[in-house]
Structures are given as structure tokens and as C-alpha cells.
A and B are shown apart, each in its own frame.
Chain A
Amino acid sequence: MEARKSVKKSWYVHLLLFTGTVLMIFPFIWMFLSAFKTDLDVFSYPPKWLPSTWTLENFPRVLEMVPFVRYYLNSIVVTSSITFGQVFLSILAAYALARLHFPGKTAVTILLLSTMIMPFQVTLVPMFMIVYKFGWIDTYQGLIVPFLFSGFSIFFLRQFFVTIPKDLEDAAKIDGCGYFGILFNVIMPNSKAPIGTISLFVFLTHWRSYLWPLVVTNSPEMRTLPVGLKYFVEEGGTQYNLMMAASLMAIIPVLIVYIVAERHLVKSTTLTGLKF
């Protein structure tokens, strides 16, 4: 009796979930199908679900219009460098802010928080000027270095680090651990979920970052995927089939990263109660 009730209940829940899934997945299916449509098909009205003829032609056309492979490589290099660098530096900073005592700690924390308030457009020009002074226009450094620091990442990790029991740390101290020993042996193993989450968050943010790469690079050799994708958006007549073919090629790696890290994402959101 009890079991049957729960089956019944779960049937409703599943229907709800299924509807949600369909809604979420709809744009992806549309993108997938449109990537195989001809120019005529994609603009036909009323819109057609399935291509009347399936064509692979869009993919070589995309590759012809923008150096897609190069953009792809750049996106991978830039995004993974930023993710690794930013997360590593944030762990160090977050640990210091959560556990160490030093003069001006509160001031530093407030300063960090204040960087989160400023919209990117405000800092764009000054940041460009700094990068220009260093001679980093049109280089990987220019794309990567400005994002190695992030107030949000530090704050996010700090909030988690303060919840780790102090006793664990004391035990490690007794066993002879220094600051780095504690960080690597106690704090980090206990924070896999938030570290995974923030890595995913940083990766996604920079994988789709558009304005900065556009402004700071000039040669096609240095540009990233979002700049390439934007090339298919036209005033008064975007070629959706090409745009969708390009998008399809662009999202595959993100999907892989997401599937791998998804477990951590859900877990740590529940643990920290933070949303983003």
C-alpha cells in the first residue's frame, strides 16, 4: 500500500520533471536540427521542425568564414588557464581570509567584496589601458592575466572554508603541518565540492566571455569562440543555420565539462546554500 502510494507520487513528480526537461532541452534540439537545415529551410514560415533535406554543408561553410579550429584552441587555452590560475589563487586567498589573522583583514575582505559590485563595462577601459601598458594587446597574457583574480571566487571559497571544523586544523598542526600543509592536507580535501563548483563557474563564465576578447585582440590568431560566433549575427538577417552549426560545435566541450562536474555543482549548492 505504502509502496504503491509512493509510486503514484513519483509518477506525478516525474511528469513534472519530464515537462521541465522538455522545456529546457527544446532550444538544444532546435539548435541541433537547424544546424542541418538549408538557407531556405531555416527561414521558412511557418517554421519547420525537421529539415526538408538534411545538409552537412553548414559545417564547412562555418569553417570557411571563421578560422574555427584556431578559435577553438584559443578558447581552450585561455579558459583552462584562467580556470586553473584563478581557482588556485582564490584557494590561497580564501584560506588566508578564512583562517589566518593579520592586520587589515576586514578591510581586505570588504575591498574584495566591493570588486563584485562593479559592472565589467566600467572597468573595461582602465583595464585595457593597463594591459596596453604591459604590451599585452593581442596576446594570451592579455586574455588570461586580468582574470586570474576574482573577488567572487575568493569570497565563495572563503564562505566554505570557515565552516570546516577548526579541530581538524589543530590536529594537523599537532602532526607538524605548516600553513601550506594544512591547506593541502586538510582544507582542500574537505572542499572538493565547492572547488569543483567554482571551477565550473569560472570555466563557463570565460568560455562564453565576448567583449574583453573582442576588445583586447585584433588578429584572428588570438580570437576566441564567442567572437567567432558573433560573426554570424547580422543586422537584419542572421544566417541561423550557420549560427546553429557553429554553436553546436562550440558547446560540445562545455557539455562534457558540465557532465563531469555536475555532481559537485548540485552538492555544493546545497552545502553552502549559495546560489549563482
Chain B
Amino acid sequence: MKRFLLVALVVFLTITALSVEIVFWYPLSGSKGQVFKELVARFEKVYPDVKVKLVYTGKYSDTAQKVVSALATKSLPNGGIIPAGPIFTGAYGNYKILEYIESDSEFNMSDFYEVGWDYAKYKGKICAIPYNISTPVLIYNKELMAEAGLDPSKPPETWAELLEYAKKITKDLNDDGEPDVWGLNIKDTPWIFKAMLFQNDCGIIDSNTLTPLFDGPKGVEAATFWKKLVDEKAMPVGMHNLADKQFMSGTLGFYMGSSSRIGKWSGKLPFEVGVAFLPKMVKRAIPIGGAVLVLFPHSKAEDDAVWKLIKWLVSPENLGEFCIMTGYIPIRKSVLEVPKVRKFMEENPNYRVAFEQMKYGRAYWHFEQMGTMDALLYEYLDKIERGVLTPEEAMKEAAEKLRKEIES
């Protein structure tokens, strides 16, 4: 008996001595947070030598605030899911995760979509791993399409078609001169406008020199089309914040916004909801958004443990499960081959669209002023819609302001 106790004690002590504790931050709340916590709990069972202390960090902007404070005092966690991660890693010379990616022969980089890596770069070098990613999609009300004499099984393929269809759906029910049913509304205007730019073969920013590119002829062309959407009454002026409400109340034909709405609306609204790829201009392109997995270096043992966790989280099976449960879009091609995911896509054809659209994903490397850029685009698209500035003036002014911000 004594001997048994002794052995047990030795085993216990060895495990404690060899085990590592890491602190990991995550900005996922509610049911998404629960899914993530459960995945990590399972990781701890598989690797009993790693103890993960999970810290919930609020929504994306709060998380960024927390990271900024931690950077200022050098009290960073070991890793985490961090929005705009490259700005907090690569920008501070932390490319540690790339060393792990390159030295780990089990890690198959090419299985990730190229766009995912672009989204995880700072100055052209990888400093994070994409994780919870969403893409914009076109969500539409099949009933309104049918009422307008359109075929609900054939959503618009191009922006020109979308304009034509949306115009047919826009209706003034009480003859007050102001439409009550709208053809199209766009929730996140900078995001969708960036999609338009990519699709029109227009760069957004030169990654090496950080020069804005959207004020060139192709950018102006996209902005002019935006104005046309409003002028021809396909889309209301400056009512983008109401897009969700309009769609849910059945007074909006086409909604453009995050793929996270698919799970929220499919089968839960009193009309049939369809989901399609974003329409194309000269080609297909989808800007991606979300947060990335990062590693903040501490000791070798701790860094190894973080890498173990990250690698486990992005394994096709675990990532597939995470995406099924949360509605995020898989950033690895092989996830689509996981039996569970295949079954899920068969049962939820609307998700299939979002998952498969990923192959057209586009992203630019992270840079410090990307938040400013989005704010500027938002402001100047609004000015275009209201006719305060012509599309050309607006693009020139927005690009000029961004240029100044980058130079200062």
C-alpha cells in the first residue's frame, strides 16, 4: 500500500513538473464562446501536460484595447484569437509563429486558402494563422423575387443583373413617392465596396509602399456603379444600418452582409431565404474578415504548448466542427472533405454557398491604418450616395486623407 502511494505520488509529481500552463485570450461570446471552450477542454484531455487558462476578452474592439494595454506593460498572454492580430505581432517584430509553421513538417500550409495567409501577414510576412473567418454573401428573399417575376432559383450573377433585378423588386406601396420595399441594401458598406474593387481588378492598397489605389479609374468606376444603385432606386440612400431589420421584416429583396446571418435566418423567417455568391464585376472576388490565432513568445516550453494548441484547433476535423457549430467559414480546403462537414453542407445548402465561395477569397496584408481606411470609405460612400461629392471627387479625397494618415 505504502509503495503504491509512493508510486502514485511520483507519477503525480512528474506530471505536475512537466505540465505547462498557458494563458489564451478569446473574443468569442455566447454559444460561439461555449463551442470554443469545449474544444479547448477536449484539447486538454488529449494533452494532459498542457493546461490552458482561457480568458474571455470581450468583443473585437474591447479585445484590441486589452491587447494594447498588455503590450504597453509587456503583460501579454501566451496566445489568443486576436482581431487584427498581425498589427500586434508582426508590427512588433514578432514572427515566432512562422518559425513553428516552417519547422513543423506535419503542418500543411498549402492546405490553407492563399487568401487566409494574406490575411495573416504584416509587411508580407506571416505572423498569425487565420481562424474565425466570415465572408460577405448575397442573401435574398425568394418570395419577393417571385413576386417581381424573377426566377428565385437564379440569383443575380453579376452586379449589372443585380441592379436590374433589384429595380424590379423596389416598390412604392402607398404612392407617397418613397419606396416601401427595396431591392437591395448593403449592411457593411466598406466591406462590400472593397469586394467591388477587387472584382473590378482594382487594388485597394499597394502592400509594399502603402499607397491607396482606389482613386484610379477602376476605383472610380466601382464608385460610379455604387451611385447608380442609388440613383436608379435599387438601393436606399444612407439606410445601411436598417438592412437587417428590412430583410427580416420581408421588405428587402437582396441583402449583402456577413455569412454569419445565414444560420440566423435560414428556416427561421416567414419566407424562404436563398444564399448566393456575391455577384461579380469583371471577375469573382470575396474580401474576408475575422480574427486570427497568434502567439506571443514567452519561454520555449510555453511557446511549444501554444503551438500544440493552435495546430490542434486548425486540424481539419476540429476546425470543421468549429465552423459547423459557429457558422464561421473554414479556411482550409480539406475541411470540406471531412465527412461531418460534407453532411452538414448537404443538409444546409445555404452554408454550402458560403463555404465554397472561399476559393474566391481576397485579402490585403494588415497595416495600422486599415481601420481608418474603412472609416473613410464609409464616410465617402455616404457622401456619394447623398450627392455631396461625385464618385471621382469622393475617391480622390478619401485616398488623399488616407495617404496623409499613413505618412504621418
Contacts and interface: CB of A to CB of B under 8 A. Distances in A.
Interface stretch (B64-72, B301-309, B316-324): B64-72
B72 A218 contact: no
Most buried by A among B30, B53, B59: B30
Contact of B69 (A128, A230, A234, A238): A128
Interface in B60-85: 62, 65-66, 68-69, 72-73, 75, 77
B213 to A, nearest CB: 29
Contacts of B29: 230-234
Contacts of A133: 73
B66 A214 contact: yes
B185 interface: no
A236 B62 contact: no
B260 A235 contact: yes
Interface in A52-71: 65
A137 B75 contact: yes
Given A43-B268, A214-B57, A227-B58, A233 B30 contact: yes
A237 B30 contact: yes
A214 B67 CA distance: 11
A214 B58 contact: yes
B144 to A, nearest CB: 16
B363 to A, nearest CB: 19
Contacts of B270: 45
A84 interface: no
Nearest to A243: B30
Interface in B32-68: 32-34, 53, 55-59, 62, 65-66, 68
Contacts of B34: 65
Contacts, number: 80
Given A45-B269, A218-B23, A236-B258, A124 B30 contact: no
B75 to A, nearest CB: 6
B264 interface: yes
Contact of B73 (A65, A128, A234): A128
A205 interface: no
B359 interface: no
B7 interface: no
B209 interface: no
A128 B65 CA distance: 11
Contacts of A128: 69, 72-73
B69 A231 contact: no
B408 interface: no
A136 to B, nearest CB: 11
A272 interface: no
B261 interface: yes
A229 to B, nearest CB: 10
A11 B59 CA distance: 48
Interface string A162-183: 0000000000000000000000
Given A45-B270, A215-B69, A232 B30 contact: yes
A211 interface: yes
B73 A235 contact: no
A215 B63 CA distance: 8
Contacts of A215: 62, 65-66, 69
A132 interface: yes
B375 interface: no
Interface string A133-148: 1000100000000000
B379 to A, nearest CB: 21
B55 A124 contact: no
Contact of B55 (A125, A218, A235): A218
A239 to B, nearest CB: 6
A125 B69 contact: yes
A129 interface: yes
Nearest to B132: A235
Interface of B: 23, 29-34, 53, 55-59, 62, 65-66, 68-69, 72-73, 75, 77, 248-249, 258, 260-261, 263-264, 268-270, 327
Interface of A: 43, 45, 65, 121, 124-125, 128-129, 132-133, 137, 210-211, 214-215, 218-219, 227, 230-239, 242
5 contacts: A124-B65, A125-B69, A133-B73, A218-B77, A236-B264
Given A65-B34, A133-B73, A238-B30, 20 more contacts: A45-B248, A124-B69, A128-B69, A128-B73, A129-B73, A214-B66, A215-B65, A218-B23, A231-B29, A232-B30, A233-B29, A233-B59, A234-B29, A234-B32, A235-B59, A235-B258, A236-B261, A237-B260, A237-B264, A239-B31
The 4 closest A-B pairs by CB, nearest first: A236-B260, A234-B30, A132-B73, A128-B69
